[in-house]
Amino acid sequence: MAKLGGNQPSLGALTGIGLMLGLSATLGFFLGRWLDDRWHTTPWLSLVGLFIGLGAGFVEIGRLLRRFD
């Protein structure tokens, strides 16, 4: 793992992990909610969107952490 002492860009990238996961989950949820309203499938597409957003967030976190290895 990269040292965080004098390497400010890596510290900034690592502190953005929570924001990345939160935004991807929120975006997936609201996209699913919009589709639910459009196709009257409440709450199924909201849940699917949430889990897809969480999955995408974890994939991006994995990519970010692999860069520091």
Model confidence pLDDT, tens digit, residues 9-39: 577 777 888 899 999 999 999 999 999 999 9
Q: What is the pLDDT of residues 35-61, one digit of tens each?
A: 999 999 999 999 999 999 999 999 999
Q: Please give the model's pTM, rounded to 2 decimal places.
A: 0.80
Task: Give dist(CA 28, CA 50) in Å, integer.
Answer: 5
Q: Which residue is it, tokens 């196709």? A: 39
- DSSP assigned state of 6: S
**20: number of Cβ within 10 Å:** 16
